[in-house]
Amino acid sequence: MEIKQHLENKDPLAYPLLKWVIESVTIPIVKLPINQKLGFMRTRNQFLFLTALSERDAEFCSARRMYGSAFAFHGSKVWNWHSIIHQGLLNFSCTNREVFDGARYRKGIRTSPHYNIACEYSVPKISEFVIGT
């Protein structure tokens, strides 16, 4: 099933919202080649944001060499996606901009190595949009 039809079946405003979010992004987004896709996500619709801020990228590469790296998933409500895409994940714990779940488990940004756990923090759940597409 095409993603447009799938989203329209969920809510008539879902596809226009997704289209607006994608079209308003100023950083390149590319569809992952089949050999780089995460099979456990059970969707062919997987994308990569091509961001490489030189100072942050150098810091990340240095830390990755020292500590290694791993996939981590962050579940967020749909109304946060646009901000996350444009600004990245920002820590608002213990500030006046704290989100509903922000300090429930202490300061920080929550991630999980398990996709299904991250989905539990999304409303509607991310899995409703990607599974079976």
| Most confidently modeled range among 23-27, 30-34, 56-60, 121-125 | 30-34
The mean per-residue pLDDT over the stretch 15-35 comes to 81
Of 89, 59, 56, which Cα lies nearest the Cα of 72?
89
pLDDT digits (tens, 9 = 90+) for 96-109: 665 555 556 667 78
Structure confidence at residue 132 (pLDDT): 44
Residue type for position 34: I
CA 81 – CA 123 distance, rounded (Å): 11
Range of weakest confidence among 31-40, 54-63, 103-112: 103-112
Which pTM does this prediction carry? 0.53
The residue ranges of every structural domain in the chain are 3-130
pLDDT higher than threshold 60 for residue 129? no
CA 22 – CA 54 distance, rounded (Å): 24
Residue 104 pairs in a beta bridge with: 106
- 29's tokens: 């987004």
